Amino acid sequence: MKLEKNVSEIKVDDLDRRILSELVRNSKRSLRNLARELGVHPATLGSRISKLEKNGIIKGYTVSLDYEKLGYDYLGIVEIIVAHGALLKVQENISKIPNVYAVFDVTGESDSIVIVFAKNRQHFSNFIKSILAMKDVVRTNTHVCLNLVKLGSADLL
C-alpha cells in the first residue's frame, strides 16, 4: 500500500535508509559509534544526517515512553462526528488537550479519530465528556483499548 503525499518524494539511497533505520532504533548513540557501525566516516554521516534534517525527513529527535509506567492505564480511540464546516477548529482544540496522543482527519462514518491516554476510568470519562461538550461536536463513538500490541514507528525502510 502506497500512501499519497502532498509533496514530492525526496530520494534517499541505501546509506540514508540504513542511517534512518539506526536512528529510529536508537538516536541517542554518538555519531562516531554510529559511523563505525555503518562503515562510513563520521563526517560523511554528519553531512548525510544534516541533509536528511534539511529536507525534512528527520523532523526531530524524541524518546519512546512507557505510558503505563507513567500511570496512564487507559488508551482510548475516539471517533468524532463534527458539524459541517467546523472540523479543523474542533481538531485544533482537541489537539491542545495534554493527554491527546494523536488526532487524525479520516474518511468514513467519522470525521476525526483521536488517540488519548488517561490515568483511570474517571479521567477517561471526563475527557470524553469534555469532547462532547465542545461546540460543533455532534457525537462520539468511543473504544477502550484492551491490550496495546504495538505503538511506535513503522519499519518503512
Q: What is the pLDDT of residues 78-89, one digit of tens each?
A: 999 999 999 999
* Total tally of structural domains belonging to the chain: 2
Smallest Cα–Cα separation from 52: which of 5, 11, 4? 11
Residues 86 and 50 in one domain: no
Smallest Cα–Cα separation from 94: which of 140, 61, 63, 59? 140
Higher pLDDT, 41 or 157: 41
pTM: 0.78
For 102-116, the pLDDT digits (tens) are 999 999 999 999 999
Average pLDDT over residues 22-37: 92
Rounded to whole angstroms, how far apart are CA atoms 113 and 90?
12
pLDDT for 17? 94
Domain limits for position 19: 14-54
Residues 86 and 129 in one domain: yes
Q: How many CB atoms lie within 10 A of CB 138?
A: 13
